Amino acid sequence: MPDTIPTALPAALPALAPGHVRHGSSIGQPLTRRDGALKVTGAARFAADNHPPGMLHAVMAVASIAHGRVQSLDIAAARAHPGVVEVMTSSNAPKLARHPDQTGQPFTYKLDLLQDDRVRYANQPIAVVIAETLEAATEGALLLRPTYAAEPSSTSLDQAERFVPDTVGVGSPPNETSGDVAAGLADADSRIEATYDTAPQYHNAMEPHAVVARWDGDRLFLDTPSQGLSMAQARIAGLFGIDAADIHIESPFLGGGFGSKGAVWAPQVLGIMAARLVGRPVKLVTRREQMFGPVGHRAPTRQTLRLGADRDGHLTAVDHHTLTASSTFDDFFEPSGRVSHTLYETPNLRTTHEAVRLDTGTPFFMRAPGEASGSAALESAVDELAEACGMDPLAFRIANYAEQEPKSGKPFTSKKLRDCYARGAERFGWASRPLQPRTLRDEAGLLVGWGMGTASFPALMMQATARATLHADGTGLIELGAHDMGQGAWTAFAQIGADGLGLDAAAVELRIGNSALPNAGMAGGSAHTATAGSAIHDAATAAIRALADLATGDERSALFGAGNQGVVARDGRLHRKDDEQRSERYADILARAGRASLSADGKAAPNAANQAQYAAHAHGAVFAEVKIHPTLGQIRVTRLVGAFAAGAIINPRLVTSQYYGGMIWGVSFALHEHALHDPRTGRVMNANFAEYRVPVNADIPDMEAILVEEDDPYVNALGVKGVGEIGITGTVGAIANAVWHATGIRVRRLPITLERLL
């Protein structure tokens, strides 16, 4: 999710992959999802599939104004509806131990939990109706017929006063400069200035935020999807004044997260409050239209880029200004400019951010926050400058290839972007692209355009712990409170665990997805596999070391005395490194020691020394072909080729799927997604899947994701970078640039709509 993650513990990770790991036994294999059959048969139990005995259904009533107060609710009408058990409003909602506007911890945002009658955005919860059936609760919520004292609202970048936020993203400075941008622009032989608008977008996972809450005294049992189990525990504990350890959260599967489940939001807490109020288990599922407000979104941006280049097409200056928005009551600022810090070599670089406050819910991390919107603008602007220089857009990018990170001057931990360019371009056939726009047509007379964009995303490390166990029966167990959002944690983490333990993946049991397990941090920032995977690796390494200690110190073992030489763990046996013929089964080692099992803990954290020395990013290149009807303006993406280098690949099948997902979201960003706020009321007028358009299958072309090999000795012990978010970057610009190449028209307002091409 975020682009930089503050960490409390600057703990160093001890060196690199220990010798006992033989990558490739499980790691690197394109295993199918372990949970695939459960999901396609409907047997996978998502949060809202749970129905504890005595459970009631809760439905939120939400505000239809964006700013003001609730004046009245017809509580009597709702209560009179058959099946309605209780109506929770600001007058009877359980009082909280901590006001929900009291935040302070990282990733904690202000929540609207019926503590008063104010309305800060449309679709804010204003009451909860609890009933014996979903139908009764739904109708009860309608019968409340609220009235309001509405105040004027602003939901557009043009409607509010600008200011410079203290920080953007996660603690990044809003304005950063190196060199002299004005001088760089003045010296340029070619320069462009262009302003790009990106639309507000709302994450809409197939599974909306849902909770099934059950209290047992002051102990709380929850089924709710979470990208950060321990953070969720901490937030809920603070709100209710209970011990985090008394909160048990089950979250075995998420029906998509995309950042929106990185925090606990109001609907989930309201379900918990409702359960406390009525003294029975309660299920609350956010309705689709209610996803547009209380659970985070991507704010709109307006980005102005001024770029200059010399006669040879080398950048002389990059000036990237972002205007974005947060809510009136909390701070989250999309850090769009940060992508310019890492991509292209330039002596003069400035990124600035301004913001306005709008009467919307608070924006939040949404797949590649900052990088997605920032890359859309930067890649478009680079294309415009390449055109101004009379250069091929790929040649221009290669001419400005950054050997060190432009902002920091640090070398990269690894960077195979040249290979991405080369392999993507070759596969796509880029070399035959004519420089001039509106020169390609297909056999049906449609305009054809080719465009490209560079993809990048930081390779982050967070913190996680894990436990690895070897059983006397020769099987292994990996335990950690990790999160499967659909990316394939159930499979990839088993692969990492299997290699770490020297076992076949089928012999390793994996337990993830509940809060009783060792804290695995959060699934965000494309860092979960890197971080939790490293913790698994560390735990498995420790387990094997402990097992080796049992063996090498025992005269009866074939491994006796191997201590300094070390051992290799493979296929359930430890082998002497200096003589692989001498080996012993794990089961025998444990049996002789009289142990039923052996466990070890592991952890992962950022390596401060490496971070001080190196810049770490995944990279890629995306090539897009669009076809456009010459008179009607309708647009279709007809080909997408992405080539990505992201360190070691745990499971190429799952990674390819992540790249596809990101590229598809890029299509959506470029051509479809746009939350339409009515300027008078602030309501989102297309809060449904018919009119808040995302691509359908038929919109998605032949896609190809090329996995470029990249060996990274620094990012973490596994050499893994993230792959979850990078696919959306690069793709948006590639499509916008292809639209220009097809038509000769630069559409600088995303999503691109057909009337701009008429």
Point out which span in 165-173, 314-322, 390-398, 635-643 binds another protein (CB under 8 A): 635-643
Instruction: Name which of 123, 297, 124 is nearest 201 in CA terms.
Output: 297
Q: Are 570 and 502 in contact (CB under 8 A)?
A: yes
Q: Are 660 and 727 in contact (CB under 8 A)?
A: yes
Other Cβ atoms closer than 10 A to 371: 29
Which residues pair with residue 567 across a beta bridge? 576
Burial of 753 (0-12, 13-18, 19+ CB in 10 A): middle
Comparison of 244 and 446: residue with beta carbon closer to another protein: 446
Point out which span in 99-107, 131-139, 268-276, 508-516 binds another protein (CB under 8 A): 131-139
Does 579 help bind another protein (rule: CB under 8 A)?
A: no
Point out which span in 109-117, 277-285, 657-665, 681-689 binds another protein (CB under 8 A): 681-689
Of 627, 721, 741, 748, which one interacts with another protein (CB under 8 A)? 627
Does 426 help bind another protein (rule: CB under 8 A)?
A: no
Backbone angles phi, psi at 454, to 5 degrees: -90, 140
Comparison of 222 and 742: residue with beta carbon closer to another protein: 742
Of 625, 710, 712, 725, which one interacts with another protein (CB under 8 A)? 625
Comparison of 15 and 444: residue with beta carbon closer to another protein: 444
Comparison of 216 and 755: residue with beta carbon closer to another protein: 755
Does 191 help bind another protein (rule: CB under 8 A)?
A: no
Least Cβ distance, residue 681 to another protein (angstroms): 7
Binding to another protein (CB under 8 A) within 358-417 occurs at: none
Point out which span in 160-168, 294-302, 328-336, 688-696 binds another protein (CB under 8 A): 688-696
Other Cβ atoms closer than 10 A to 281: 21
Does 92 help bind another protein (rule: CB under 8 A)?
A: no
Of 193, 218, 678, 709, which one interacts with another protein (CB under 8 A)? 678
3-state secondary structure 393-461: HHHHHHHCECCECCCCCCEECCCCHHHHHHHHHHHHCHHHCCCCCCCEECCCCCEEEEEEEEEEEECCC
Comparison of 183 and 676: residue with beta carbon closer to another protein: 676
Residue 67 CB contacts under 8 Å (≥ 6 apart), including other chains: 119, 120, 121, 150, 151, 152, 153, 328, 359, 682
Least Cβ distance, residue 653 to another protein (angstroms): 23
Does 182 help bind another protein (rule: CB under 8 A)?
A: no
State in Å, rounded, how far the first CA of the chain is from the last one. 38
Does 156 help bind another protein (rule: CB under 8 A)?
A: no
Point out which span in 172-180, 647-655, 673-681, 724-732 binds another protein (CB under 8 A): 673-681
Least Cβ distance, residue 136 to another protein (angstroms): 9
Does 693 help bind another protein (rule: CB under 8 A)?
A: yes
Comparison of 259 and 449: residue with beta carbon closer to another protein: 449
Does 159 help bind another protein (rule: CB under 8 A)?
A: no
Backbone angles phi, psi at 320, to 5 degrees: -125, 105
Point out which span in 134-142, 347-355, 402-410, 532-540 binds another protein (CB under 8 A): 134-142
Binding to another protein (CB under 8 A) within 445-474 occurs at: 446, 448
Of 175, 699, 713, 745, which one interacts with another protein (CB under 8 A)? 699
Of 142, 182, 186, 609, which one interacts with another protein (CB under 8 A)? 142
DSSP state of 683: -
Of 18, 52, 633, 652, which one interacts with another protein (CB under 8 A)? 633
Backbone angles phi, psi at 369, to 5 degrees: -65, 125
Which tokens go with 376? 């859309």
Which residues pair with residue 636 across a beta bridge? 627
Which tokens go with 441? 């047509």
Distance from C-alpha of 446 to C-alpha of 626, rounded to nearest angstrom = 10
Rg of the chain over Cα atoms, rounded to whole angstroms, equals: 27
Least Cβ distance, residue 756 to another protein (angstroms): 9
Indicate the SS3 state at residue 642. Answer: strand
Whether 725 is a known active-site residue: answer yes
Q: Are 179 and 185 in contact (CB under 8 A)?
A: no
Comparison of 691 and 711: residue with beta carbon closer to another protein: 691
Does 685 help bind another protein (rule: CB under 8 A)?
A: yes
Of 54, 82, 106, 241, which one interacts with another protein (CB under 8 A)? 82
Does 510 help bind another protein (rule: CB under 8 A)?
A: no
Does 638 help bind another protein (rule: CB under 8 A)?
A: yes
Comparison of 41 and 697: residue with beta carbon closer to another protein: 697
What letter represents residue 76's amino acid?
A
Indicate the SS3 state at residue 493. Answer: helix
Does 676 help bind another protein (rule: CB under 8 A)?
A: yes
CB half-sphere exposure, 238, CA atoms < 13 A: 18
What letter represents residue 757's amino acid?
L
Instruction: Name which of 17, 115, 127, 185 is nearest 647 in CA terms.
Output: 17
Point out which span in 464-472, 526-534, 557-565, 678-686 binds another protein (CB under 8 A): 678-686
Q: How far is CA 48 from CA 57, 205, 252, 279, in A?
A: 11, 14, 12, 19
Does 744 help bind another protein (rule: CB under 8 A)?
A: no
Instruction: Name which of 523, 431, 437 is nearest 480 in CA terms.
Output: 523
State CA 657 to chain mean position distance: 14
Point out which span in 135-143, 330-338, 557-565, 593-601 binds another protein (CB under 8 A): 135-143
Does 741 help bind another protein (rule: CB under 8 A)?
A: no
Catalytic residue among 139, 207, 479, 725: 725
Distance from C-alpha of 599 to C-alpha of 534, rounded to nearest angstrom = 17
Comparison of 121 and 333: residue with beta carbon closer to another protein: 121
3-state secondary structure 592-610: HCCCCEEEEEEEECCCHHH
Of 407, 639, 741, 748, which one interacts with another protein (CB under 8 A)? 639
Comparison of 118 and 693: residue with beta carbon closer to another protein: 693
Indicate the SS3 state at residue 468. Answer: strand
Binding to another protein (CB under 8 A) within 62-81 occurs at: 64-65
Least Cβ distance, residue 438 to another protein (angstroms): 8
DSSP state of 550: H
Angle at 348 between CA 346 and CA 349, to 5 degrees: 85
Q: What is the DSSP string of 556-576?
A: TSTTTT-TTT-EEEETTEEEE
Question: Annotated active-site positions, please?
Answer: 725
Summarize as ranges the residues that interact with another protein (CB under 8 A): 64-65, 82, 135, 138-139, 142, 429, 434, 438-444, 446, 448, 625, 627, 629, 631-634, 636-639, 671-672, 676, 678-681, 683, 685-686, 688, 690-691, 693, 695-696, 698-702, 753-755, 758
